[in-house]
Amino acid sequence: MKYFIIVLIVSINVTCGLLLSADDLESKWDSFKVTWGPNSFDPEYFVKQPRTIAEAKQNNYQQISDQCEGNFLGQRFMKLNDYGAILIYDNQGTIAGVQMGIPVSMITDKFYQYFTQKMFNRDTIAGVYLYILTAYFVDPRTICQSGRNPSHLNHDGTGTGLWLQNGSNPIRDSIEMPLYDNTVSNTKWAKGACLPTMGYHYWYDNRLDKSCDEFFPAFLLYNKNKLAGFGWIVIGKFEFTKRTEFPPITALTSLQEPFPICIKKRFEEAGGVTAMHHFFNNQTWNILC
């Protein structure tokens, strides 16, 4: 059924796509959406996120931090206490990143070494102690310094790149991801499979004998040779927000090549994985592979 829906959507997309110029098909960063789903028209999938504080406030997001100090940069907002998708804005109120929080109480180190994986930081938000994954869409050094105004946002789009915070210090430890797929080969990111409406998945340091305890909790998405999004993926099925996805093992084995041997067993023991796709392009239906 899901496959049928994808085929149907792709057919609609191809028809729409033909009406657009090649330029429109390039991955413009004209939006920010989270959560993949089989049906692009379902309001719970590809959920558009506010790219300015003004828009966030209009949509009832609440501010949870406003200082540029400590473990994270920027001003952070979330909607209805949903720490599954925390938005980060710079000092001018323009989108600068995103976080996912997972309640520490749901996690057991039996299935994954959360404590030693540098990507996970910790924070207490709305009284809940969380593991936090953080991505920035601009050079982290600019977030509390220059920031961006609305005309920058219009011109550059949602971001100028992707930086993953791989440690407790957001300036020192954030790593810039390759913006174009022709520079990926100089890195440890390995190409996986492409799915329409998702893009080409890239996995960090992927190999058959990869240790499950070192599995990197993020993947990159490319479309038309350019970074078009990214995702979080953690071992364990954590149900605390509507924004996460719980892919079946068959989806994982088809997207990751080679598929690390240990993961199948770990998937069963931990009850699955929790993932979340993020997209920078409005027209996700144009991601055709």
Residues that bind ligand NAG (CB under 6 A): 30-31, 118, 166, 175, 204, 282
Beta carbon of residue 221, minimum distance to ligand NAG (angstroms, whole number): 15
Cis peptide before 258 (omega within 30 of 0): yes
Whether 277 contacts 245, CB under 8 Å: yes
Beta carbon of residue 201, minimum distance to ligand NAG (angstroms, whole number): 15
Beta carbon of residue 166, minimum distance to ligand NAG (angstroms, whole number): 4
Beta carbon of residue 127, minimum distance to ligand NAG (angstroms, whole number): 30
Q: Which is nearer to ligand NAG, 202 or 238 (CB)?
A: 202
Q: Which is nearer to ligand NAG, 225 or 282 (CB)?
A: 282
Whether 159 contacts 280, CB under 8 Å: yes
Give bridge partners of residue 190 from the DSSP assignment: 203
Beta strands in 104-225 (DSSP E): 121-125, 128-136, 163-165, 174-176, 189-195, 199-204, 218-223
Q: Which is nearer to ligand NAG, 91 or 286 (CB)?
A: 286
Q: Which is nearer to ligand NAG, 30 or 55 (CB)?
A: 30
Closest CA to 112 of 277, 275, 273, 276: 273
Q: Which is nearer to ligand NAG, 125 or 164 (CB)?
A: 164
DSSP 199-233: EEEEEET--TT--GGG--SEEEEEETTEEEEEEEE
Instruction: Identify residue 267 by its one-letter amino acid code.
Output: F
Beta carbon of residue 118, minimum distance to ligand NAG (angstroms, whole number): 4
